[in-house]
Structure 1
Amino acid sequence: MHQHPHTQRRTRSLSSALAAVAVLVGIGLGPTPGAHAADNPYERGPAPTNASIEAVRGPYAVSQATVSSLAVTGFGGGTIYYPTTTSDGTFGAVAISPGYTGTQSSIAWLGPRLASQGFVVFTIDTNTTLDQPDSRGRQLLAALDYLTRVSPLRTRVDSTRLGVMGHSMGGGGSLEAAKSRPSLQAAIPLTPWNLDKTWPEIQTPTLIVGADGDSIAPVSSHAEPFYENLPSSLDRAYLELNGASHFAPNSSNTTIAKYSISWLKRFIDNDTRYEQFLCPLPRPSLTIEEYRGNCPHQS
């Protein structure tokens, strides 16, 4: 992160960062560019650019750890991808569920792609490949609980800054998880499927990604009503991929990655440096059929 030397000293610990903010507020000064990181101790990595959020890898080197299904309860194990460095403090975390009949291999590309931007990412296997959305929602939460309470990597995670993602049934599961745990900071359902179409209970900022060519969970009966039936007061967005199928989230996809990174950064890390990629709303393009949402974001 490019900072003035005095800012680097101020941000060595959370307490000193908060103290610096208190001083700035106390003497009536607004934030200056050099004090930006002091204002938000959760910022990780350099200032983003369009190129940096579209890149296959972000600024952090990534390590990974395998979690056996035999070592956990409530879900089927998985793989934790995490920034190798310990010098930047803790990171926010996101658990990701595969879809119906799918295993973690179907969403594995998101692990290093998101982790290299400054997150701990847990791609999970589910108890069976046929689990329904409500079960997958519970399993996502069980995975986050394992990650933050039991995992050898728990000291690298800020347990107050967590999110969920999922594909298809797992996308429906990410809505279920957000419904039952309002403390989650972000949810990103990817071409989601769920028989429940209304989500007035959700308080978690939610980005729903649909695909115009989805014949398994058509946007007209899944992604679109999910979005429309989120609370209108919520920070929410609907991204419909252009020329894409239900299985778009199963392989490396720059558009999914770009807006997922921006959403997770903006709401898990409170990093307003990423607001520029979400507001004003992205315009239709070769890869975006349409994008809806509220701007500016409130939280």
Structure 2
Amino acid sequence: MRHQRTRTGKRFGILAAATALAAAAVVVPQYAQAGPDQQAAADDSYQRGPDPTEQSITAERGPFAVSRQAVDGPGFNRGTAYYPTDTSQGTFGAVVVSPGFLTSESLISWYGPRFASQGFVVLTLETDSVTDQPDSRARQMLAALDYLATSSAVKNRIDPGRLAVMGHSMGGGGSLRASEQRPALQAAVPLMPWENDKTWESNRVPTLIMGAENDLIASPGSHSERFYGTLTSAPEKAYLELNGAGHNVALSANTTIAKYGIAWLKRFVDDDTRYEKFLCPAPRPDGNINEYRDTCPTG
């Protein structure tokens, strides 16, 4: 089932130059120009980058060189935008990543360059307070997405119709709430999500939930698995449980989280069916994955 896109735009003020930091380049290989076959395929989707392989999707850095810039704006505290330096491939989808309870942006900063180097604009969020609840994090994530895509210094690199949310713990709960409130989002990736609300029947965004087998804070049985079971209106959904992992597994670089998070965003934000092979057939349990459930995305 192909997720239908709703293209909306919002106008906001221009980011004041005084709040922007100089872009700092992250050294990764620069992406080569797409060949004729890739360019033709891109006409029907938003393919960015070469054909993916197991090696490319699990690498610490993808094919795009990345820069970063500090961002602040209305409705959220602040964050760091990571973005591909290449402008020859057109615009990119954007994702905001929220930390969890008592967690600062620094602990989710690894998502920025890793995901941006695969062809996304990524904002890692510093929330108003480390004690913000999921509803507050959802509000801030949506405000940050709007500002990033329509008013920030990197807005010209972003397609405002291709936006997604991602978050850990209460940030994961916030990503569920944000996607429930805004069904035009293209994807959501809650990581070890924590939320008092256990029912998400009205959520219509393709959602990949990741849980941790040994999570004592947001146990899969009380949170991730229950959330997944109620996503009855989502056009596609998946549940990945990390083998032997605890709640904070998402706060440092993790190849399994990166691989499947990137694949999900590529498939639904970029509509790039080249990444479907990592999601369907469903990955089998192994040393990294304890359990995987899905509706198996189809082109």
TM over 0.5: yes
CA shift for structure 1 position 204: 0.5
State the partner residue of 1:107.
Answer: 108
CA shift for structure 1 position 85: 1.1
- Unaligned ranges ≥5, structure 1: 12-34
1:200 and 2:195 equivalent? Answer: no
**How does 1:1-299 map onto structure 2 within 5 Å?**
5=36, 11=39, 35-40=40-45, 42-67=46-71, 71-231=72-232, 234-295=235-296, 297-298=297-298
State the partner residue of 1:31.
Answer: none
Aligned residue type for 1:123: T
Between the aligned partners of 2:141 and 2:234, the Cα distance in structure 1 is 25
Aligned residue type for 2:205: T
Between the aligned partners of 2:35 and 2:142, the Cα distance in structure 1 is 39
Between the aligned partners of 1:154 and 1:3, the Cα distance in structure 2 is 23
Between the aligned partners of 1:292 and 1:278, the Cα distance in structure 2 is 10
List structure 1 runs of 4+ shifted beyond 4 angstroms: 1-5
CA shift for structure 1 position 196: 0.4
CA contact (8 A) 1:96 1:123 kept: yes
Between the aligned partners of 2:91 and 2:115, the Cα distance in structure 1 is 15
Between the aligned partners of 2:234 and 2:92, the Cα distance in structure 1 is 28
CA shift for structure 1 position 4: 5.0
Larger Rg: 1
CA shift for structure 1 position 143: 0.3
State the partner residue of 1:16.
Answer: none
Paired residue secondary structure (1:143): helix
CA contact (8 A) 1:74 1:127 kept: no
CA shift for structure 1 position 243: 1.3
CA contact (8 A) 2:68 2:80 kept: yes
Between the aligned partners of 2:74 and 2:132, the Cα distance in structure 1 is 15
Aligned-pair RMSD on alpha carbons?
1.4
Between the aligned partners of 1:235 and 1:292, the Cα distance in structure 2 is 11
TM-score, normalization by structure 1: 0.87
Between the aligned partners of 1:203 and 1:142, the Cα distance in structure 2 is 20
Between the aligned partners of 2:73 and 2:234, the Cα distance in structure 1 is 37
CA shift for structure 1 position 234: 2.6
CA shift for structure 1 position 175: 0.2
CA 1:218–1:277 in structure 2 vs 1: closer, same or farther (change >3 Å)? same
Whose RCO is larger (CA < 8 A, sep 6+)? 2
Q: Percent identity?
A: 59
Give deviations 1:147-182, integer Å, cap 9, x for gaps.
012101101000000000000000000000000000
- Unaligned ranges ≥5, structure 2: 1-31
Between the aligned partners of 1:177 and 1:54, the Cα distance in structure 2 is 28
* Structure with greater helix percent: 1
CA contact (8 A) 2:98 2:168 kept: yes
- How many residues in Structure 1 have an aligned counterpart in Structure 2? 268
CA contact (8 A) 2:116 2:122 kept: yes
CA shift for structure 1 position 76: 1.2
CA shift for structure 1 position 39: 2.5
CA 1:73–1:236 in structure 2 vs 1: closer, same or farther (change >3 Å)? same
Paired residue secondary structure (2:43): helix
